[in-house]
A and B are shown apart, each in its own frame.
Chain A
Amino acid sequence: MKKLTKYITFSSVVLMLLSGCEDLKFGNDFLEKSTSTDVNIDEVYSKKVYAEQALAEVYRSLPEGLPVLGRLKYCMLESITDLADSPKSGGIVDYFGTSNSATGGGNLAYRLDDDNSGRGPCSGIRRAYLFIENVDRVPDMTQNEKDIRKAEAKLIIAYHNSNMLRYYGGMPWISRSYQPQDNFTTERLTVEEYVNKIVALIDEAAAVLPWSVPAADDGRMTKAAAMALKVRVLLFAASPLFNDDQPYTAGEAADKRYVWYGNKDQARWQRALDAGLDFMREKEENGQYDLVKTGNPRADFQASHFNRNNGEILISSRWHTTYNASLMEFKQISYGVAVSTLNLVDMFPMADGTDFNWNNPEHAANPFFKNGKPVRDPRLYETCIVNGDAYAGRKAECYIGGREYKKYVMIKYTGFSIRKFYQDLTTNIGKFCEWPILRLPEIYLSIAEAFNEMGRSAEAYPYINMVRQRAGMPELNTGLDQSQLREAILRERVLELAYEEVRFFDLTRWKRSDIWKSTYNLSGLEITKTGSTFSYNHVNVLNKRNSALNWDDHYFLHPIPVTEVNKKYGLIQNPGW
């Protein structure tokens, strides 16, 4: 009996041990974790479809200009220029302000060390190099396909470098995908070296890329994109920020020519001009691109930046499939992150091309509409929400007590708000969207600018007028001197390209500290409705930007994050920071 008990006990224990459940294993098998379904780099580059997905993620590194991922506290780049402001609480009062942005830096538009928010260039560059380094292993792609895709990746690398150039000046050249243990001690390149490297990479990509792509591939990099980017880079490089007798601010980085050329040379304008004319020549030969021009200026202008595959967007970024008012990027706008200032609105001329002037009683009485007809440059109505314009199936009520006024903080603030990219937040829901990074009009205006700087202003006018013509505006008055024409071009760039991240760089490359300082006191409009007439009262915006009050020219370039400088691999901080 005893033996039996013992036997039963032991065998029941053994049974428990062995049959308990499938996870009961012994020996080395026990520690194995469940099989993984994750893929590694070899699997990604074993099939075309995966490799294309990796490239899609390279494209994804192209930044979105709408308010995303905490950049500028969810504002737009325009919100820190004279064109717009942000009354949202916690908005942009301290941009470049009293807080030491080099160490704090939460408010900066651009950060070298920011890999996740789309503000930084490095993760895009890395992904692009990983693609270039590995795509040759893919068996089911032709060499031609691989070459073109690699060139696309190269152009994205060049694009990120062009942004680093515009925010920082000359930076170290990242030439491959690094591993943590790799020694990365490259010093910054001089502006000259850096510009040449970027241009060389653009040329390399342009040599392979097709001039245009079929509609099914819309959004991919093309030769036209490459040549246009080259114009942008060379125009920026030729501008006085880098191309002058004096550095904008003295310092070690200036001494080492990281933040300017070290002299002034007209040849740099010529180089920009040549790049522009090369682009025009190629366009002449291959066609495919032109301004949207159906004869309805306002609709054409809307299509120019709001529609995909419209023949004039050369580089775009596409984070979203469709325009969706519930996405953060679109919602933010109703919190007031990019309210148009009166400064912006006043730049738009009358429809006949004359300047708008509040001192002109006729203008002041009917600044936007007369007898229900628009009186200003049609682009105004597509750029800003203006009182009395068509809005959500009725007229916008931006006056005190009006529906828009009551609904949105933003309209209370200046009497206007952004309309570009947002429309009225209702009508275009579901439309495929994109963010235009580089548009044809910018190239036209850049060519005009280069002609003007080369003293060939007569040749500049046709390029400006191409842009004005599409907008239904009369030709620009001739007979302007060089600096008048320069101002006219900068203004035309605002009218055409407001909210497209052009103004910020125009102000820095032309060292316009006068305009930067003026952003301390921007204006808005208080509109009162009495009966059926409106009266307009100028008001100052509430935000007092510390950066404008304490303006210093070293703000022209961004600080390199101090944590990055402190890693001591050879970065020298921009002057003044």
Chain B
Amino acid sequence: MRLRIPDLISKIALLLACAVAVTGCASNKEIEYTIPARVAPVPDEGWSMMKANDPWNGMNRSFYNFNYRVDRWVLLPAVRGYRAITPDPLERGITNFFANIREVNYFINSVFQLSPRKAGNAALRFGMNSTIGLLGFTDPAGAMGFTPMPEDLGQTFGYWGVPAGPYFVMPFLGPSTVRDAPGTIIEFFWYGLFAPKVFRDFWGNPAVTALRVVDTRKNVPFRYYQTGSPFEYEFVRFLYLTYRELEIAR
């Protein structure tokens, strides 16, 4: 095992630099809410289900808009092309293949969360699907009722009581929090750090990474600005934070 931290850091720095360059140096933009001249309702800052810990609002909105552009001009066209040229059974096989590799993540995090049931589920799924499931291209474990029980690093932190911290929209990767973001980034790259060399070479291959990204996007139905609401950013934030709370409670 050989740690290649500088490699990892330089990749992350490059991603961030790209995003910042595109969005401009983002600062918070706030307005003073004075009571409007007309008959507007008095601003009211009591409890609201939509409220969130979001101090980096301006930067987050810039990244949200940046992600929309990446999505519209790069990811969605790639997904459309991929779907057009790939037979559906193969698409499903590829989705299963990447899902199977994620079981290693689930296993490690379940162990860290002291949950033998979830760890056992992940181990069983990985073992079964990697062998009789033809390297994970099919999902016989799921067919037998052993469906995935996803656990990621953010959930592990949450399990040990780390608070979510501020909401953070990651460039390219989307909604997150200070607690969840490191996990997402580490898990995006970690196979390159710990896995056997033969797998590392396969995983580090740009074509495989591209396929992984396209496959991930393909399986997320969300489309930017299709809610039609001027408050889509707030809705997405609300849904993400609520969903993560539930995932961690589980």
Question: Do A and B interact with each other, yes or no?
Answer: no
Task: Give B contacts to A, CB under 8 Å.
Answer: none
